[in-house]
Structure 1
Amino acid sequence: MIQVEVAYALPHEQKIIALQVEEGCTVKEAVIRSGITELFSEIDPETIPMGIFGKAVKDPSSTVLKEGERVELYRPLIADPKEVRARRAAKMKAQKEAEQAGKTE
C-alpha cells in the first residue's frame, strides 16, 4: 500500500483527501476511491483535467501513482490569465500616468 492525496479547490473551499491505495493504482482510480465526487458533484472523473503536483496528466486512466504523490483536479479557467495580466498592467499604467499628471500641475 502507498499513501497519496487527492486535492480539489474552489475559490471559497478546498479539500485534500489522504488515502491508502495499492501499488499500481492509477490517477483516475485514486480520484474515484477518495470519495471526492460525493463532496463535489461537479467533478466527473471521466472528463475533469487532472495533474500530479501541478503537472498535467494526459491519461489519468493509465498513469500510475507513486508514494506521496498528490492528484490535483483542475477547474476550467474563468478568464484567460494573459488577458487578466494585460488589463492589470494597463490599469497600473493609467494610474501612474494620472499620478504624474497630478504632480506636474
Structure 2
Amino acid sequence: MGKEGLHLEVAVADVDEQVILNVLVQKGATIAEVIENSGILARFPDIDLQHNKVGIFGKVQSLEHEVSDRDRVEIYRPITCDPKEVRRQRAKKS
C-alpha cells in the first residue's frame, strides 16, 4: 500500500455479464463505502445491499467489514436455478 490508498476490485455478475471494477479507497474503508464509491450500483440498479450478500474472495462479510489492500469485494446474487437440474440437463445433451 502506498500513500495513495488501498487498491481493490469490486465484482458482480448477472446472467449476461460479469463486471470487475478497480477502485482506490482510503485505509479504514468498509465494504459498503467501497461499493458506493465504485459506481457499480448505478450500473446494476437492481442490486439491493439490504438483500444481496457481499463478501471478499468468496467469504461472506458484513457491509461494515473493513477492507484491506488488494481485496476483491464481491456482490452475490441469489441463485436463479437449481444447480442439480442444470447438471442433469447438461448431461442429457452430451
Indicate the TM-score class for this superposition, using the shorter chain for normalisation: 0.7 to 0.9
Deviation, 1:35, is 0.6
Flag the structure with larger Rg.
1
Aligned counterpart, 1:99: none
TM-score, normalising length: structure 1: 0.73
The runs of at least 4 consecutive aligned structure 1 residues that moved more than 4 Å come to none
The answer for unaligned runs of 5 or more in structure 2 is none
1:36 aligns with 2:37: no
Matches within 5 A, 1:61-72: 61=64, 63-72=65-74
Percent of pairs identical after alignment? 37
Cα RMSD over matched residues?
2.0
Q: Partner of 1:48: helix, strand, or coil?
A: coil
Match of 1:25 among 26, 29, 43: 29
TM-score, normalising length: structure 2: 0.81
**Higher-helix-fraction structure:** 1
In the comparison of the two structures, how many residue pairs are matched? Answer: 88
